[in-house]
Amino acid sequence: MVWVVLTRGALTGHGPLESAGVDLQLSVQDKCGPFSGPVTIAGTTMTVGELATGAVGCDGDLHAQHMWLLVFLKRPIDMTFNRDVLIWKSGPDTLRINKE
User: Given pLDDT bands bounded at 50, 70 and 90, which one contains residue 1?
Assistant: very low
CATH number of the domain bearing residue 21: 2.40.128.270
42: left (phi over 0), alpha (psi -120 to 50) or beta: beta
pLDDT per position as a tens digit, 8-67: 444 433 345 454 556 788 888 888 888 899 999 888 899 999 998 877 678 889 889 888
What integer is the mean pLDDT of 82-86?
85
Instruction: Name every residue whose Cβ is closer than 8 Å to that of residue 15 and which is 6 or more positions away in sequence.
Output: none
Total domains in the chain come to 1
- Range of the structural domain that residue 45 is part of: 2-98
Query: Is the pLDDT reported for residue 2 higher than 70?
Result: no
Give the H/E segment covering residue 20: none
Please say whether the beta carbons of 92 and 79 come within 8 A: no
